[in-house]
């Protein structure tokens, strides 16, 4: 038990620090891509997900894992994911982003966390009704991870899907850059020959970008103290998160989720002030699985994410108690409520579904990720309605 708690502390601290240093935020990753085609954080998210996918495939194949998280699939993922996506874009931080910003000293995001808690509690109270009227009609099939159903070794499946993802990414990037080359540099004598196909151009760009990134990393190592205080490339965060979450946490404990443990925290904290949380079906038999309402190891890990982000922010000179503008309070209240409720309705947040869920090739998480990204898309267009979006 002590060893597991130690792992939880180490993983939590590392995740918090890497999230803070890399400003690793899923809202940022999708919102800024839609609003003005900024793909820096998007690349980090993709890198983390695909790297984790490869590691989990290999770990599963050789038996070094504790279990997958594969909820039944259906339209709930789409509905809950959409609500969660709208909520996190309005709140200005995803489930993990809210945690690390709480550690950076944003009172705004502590308020968001509080109202996420209200969302979890409200959902729990409504759960018996929702089970009949929402989950039963909208659930179509048993949850499954594609790693477990093919006869192909899971490590290869992970590599193949990650490779296919990279190829799609390269094609998209390659196509847009050859298009730009024709549009903007028609007067330059030597431009990209049209025979060069988009995937090749994209892969070349990927190789070039990765080399430049590694060179930058090597340069940063020469002045480790200075570099540690500067903001880090989101890809560095991706590598660190993969090491902590994929390798350590997955082989020792489970996949990574944020809102599940938070919903447990809500039940636990309410039980501390006299509420019989265990009597509610959702807390008692689903979240705490009949083990009694107490502190579980993933709850400890999530708490340490806040501590890790706090320490990293303090070290970088980024920590301060930040008082929100009054006109931002609805973002925390409404955004938090939608994140809390949406993450239970799906179920799962951006970490459970986009990061962990896609990395473990869970059918439910593919559907929920579509819902989340659609929610971000709609809400981004609403927030940018006066100045316009690029995509």
Residue number with CB closer to other proteins (109 or 268): 109
SS (H, E, C) the chain: CHHHHHHHHHHHHHHHHHHHHHCCCHHHHHHHHHHHCCCHHHHHHHHHHHHHHHHHHHHHHCCCCCCCCCCCEECHHHHHHHHHHHHHHHHCCCHHHHHHHHHHCEHHHHHHHHHHHHHHHHHHHHHHHHHHHHHHHHEEECCCEHHHHCCCCHHHHHHHHHHHHHHHHHHHHHHHHHHHHHHHCCCCCCCCCCCCCHHHHHHHHHHHHHHHHHHHHHHHHCCHHHHHHCCCCHHHHHHHHHHHHHHHHHHHCCCCCCHHHHHHHHHHHHHHCCCCHHHCHHHHHHHCCCCCCCCCHHHHHHHHHHHHHHHHHHHHCCCCCECCCHHHHHHHHHHHHHHHHHHHHCCCCHHHHHHHHHHCCEHHHHHHHHHHHHHHHHHHHHHCCCCCCCC
227 binds other proteins (CB under 8 A): no
CB of 54 to other proteins, least distance (A): 23
* Contacting residue, 323, 330, 382, 391, with other proteins by CB under 8 A: 323
Minimum distance between the CB of residue 229 and other proteins, rounded to whole angstroms? 9
Secondary structure of 43-78 in HEC code, one letter for each residue: HHHHHHHHHHHHHHHHHHHCCCCCCCCCCCEECHHH
CA distance 391 to 366: 22
Which one of 9, 217, 315, 318 is in contact with other proteins (CB under 8 A)? 318
Residue 208 near other proteins by CB under 8 A? yes
By CB under 8 A, name the one of 12, 57, 87, 92 that touches other proteins. Answer: 92
Unique residue bearing structure tokens 């070290």: 315
d(CA 116, CA 263): 8
Stretch that binds other proteins, among 117-125, 134-142, 177-185, 259-267 (CB under 8 A): 177-185
Residues written for the chain = 391
For other proteins, the binding residue among 5, 9, 35, 227 (CB under 8 A) is 35
Q: Would you count residue 333 as binding other proteins (CB under 8 A)? A: no
Q: Which of 13, 19, 25, 346 contacts other proteins by CB under 8 A? A: 25
Contact between 93 and other proteins by CB under 8 A: the answer reads yes
Residue 244 C-beta: closest distance to other proteins, Å: 21
- Establish if 317 lies at the interface with other proteins (CB under 8 A): yes
Q: Does residue 308 interact with other proteins by CB under 8 A?
A: no
Tell me how many residues contact other proteins (CB under 8 A): 46
- Verify binding: residue 381, other proteins, rule CB under 8 A: no
The span of 113-121, 158-166, 296-304, 382-390 binding other proteins (CB under 8 A) equals 382-390
Binding mask 116-155 for other proteins (x = CB under 8 A): ----------------------------------------
Closest CA to 237 of 46, 94, 101: 46
Q: Is 177 in the site for other proteins (CB under 8 A)?
A: yes
Query: Scanning residues 256 to 295, which ones bind other proteins (CB under 8 A)?
Result: none
231 binds other proteins (CB under 8 A): yes
CB 212, min distance to other proteins, A: 5
Q: Is 96 in the site for other proteins (CB under 8 A)?
A: no
> In Å, what is the CA distance from 29 to each residue of 187, 215, 221, 328, 374?
34, 24, 26, 21, 13
Q: 143, 153, 205, 278: which one contacts other proteins (CB under 8 A)?
A: 205
Nearer Cβ to other proteins (279/323):
323
Cβ at position 271, least distance to other proteins in Å: 32
Stretch that binds other proteins, among 155-163, 336-344, 347-355, 376-384 (CB under 8 A): 376-384
Residues forming contacts to other proteins in the complex (CB under 8 A) are 23, 25, 27-28, 31-32, 35-36, 38, 40, 92-93, 101, 104-106, 108, 177, 180-181, 192, 201, 204-205, 208-209, 212, 216, 231, 233, 313, 317-320, 322-325, 328, 331, 380, 383-384, 386-387
């Amino acid at each position: 038990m002590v060893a597991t708690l130690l792992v939880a502390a180490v993983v939590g601290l590392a995740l918090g620090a890497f999230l803070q240093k890399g400003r690793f935020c899923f809202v940022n990753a999708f919102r800024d891509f839609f609003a003005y085609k900024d793909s820096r954080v998007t690349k980090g998210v993709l890198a983390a997900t695909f790297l984790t996918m490869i590691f989990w495939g290999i770990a599963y194949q050789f038996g070094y894992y504790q279990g997958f998280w594969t909820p039944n699939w259906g339209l709930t993922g789409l509905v809950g994911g959409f609500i969660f996506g709208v909520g996190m874009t309005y709140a200005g931080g995803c489930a993990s982003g809210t945690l690390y910003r709480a550690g950076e000293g944003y009172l705004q995001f502590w308020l968001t966390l509080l109202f996420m808690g209200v969302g979890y509690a409200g959902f729990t109270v409504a759960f018996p009704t929702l089970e009949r009227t929402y989950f039963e009609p909208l659930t179509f099939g048993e949850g499954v991870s594609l790693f477990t159903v093919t006869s192909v070794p899971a490590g290869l499946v992970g590599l193949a899907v990650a490779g296919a993802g990279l190829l799609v990414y390269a094609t998209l990037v390659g196509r847009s850059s050859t298009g730009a080359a024709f549009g903007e540099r028609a007067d330059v004598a030597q431009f990209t020959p049209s025979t060069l196909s988009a995937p090749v151009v994209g892969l070349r760009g990927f190789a070039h970008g990765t080399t430049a990134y590694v060179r930058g990393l090597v340069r940063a190592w020469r002045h480790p103290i200075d570099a540690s205080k500067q903001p880090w490339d989101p890809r560095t965060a991706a590598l660190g998160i993969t090491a902590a979450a994929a390798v350590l946490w997955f082989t020792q404990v489970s996949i990574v989720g944020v809102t599940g443990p938070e919903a447990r925290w809500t039940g636990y904290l309410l039980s501390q002030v006299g509420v019989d949380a265990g009597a509610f079906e959702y807390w008692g038999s689903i979240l705490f699985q009949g083990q009694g309402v107490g502190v579980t190891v993933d709850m400890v890990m999530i708490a340490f994410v806040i501590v890790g982000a706090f320490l990293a922010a303090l070290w970088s000179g980024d920590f301060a108690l930040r008082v929100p503008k009054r006109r931002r309070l609805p973002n925390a209240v409404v955004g938090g409520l939608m994140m809390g409720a949406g993450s239970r309705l799906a179920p799962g947040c951006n970490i459970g579904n986009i990061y962990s869920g896609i990395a473990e090739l869970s059918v439910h998480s593919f559907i929920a990720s579509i819902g989340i990204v659609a929610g971000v898309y709609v809400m981004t267009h609403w927030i940018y309605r006066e100045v316009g979006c690029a995509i």
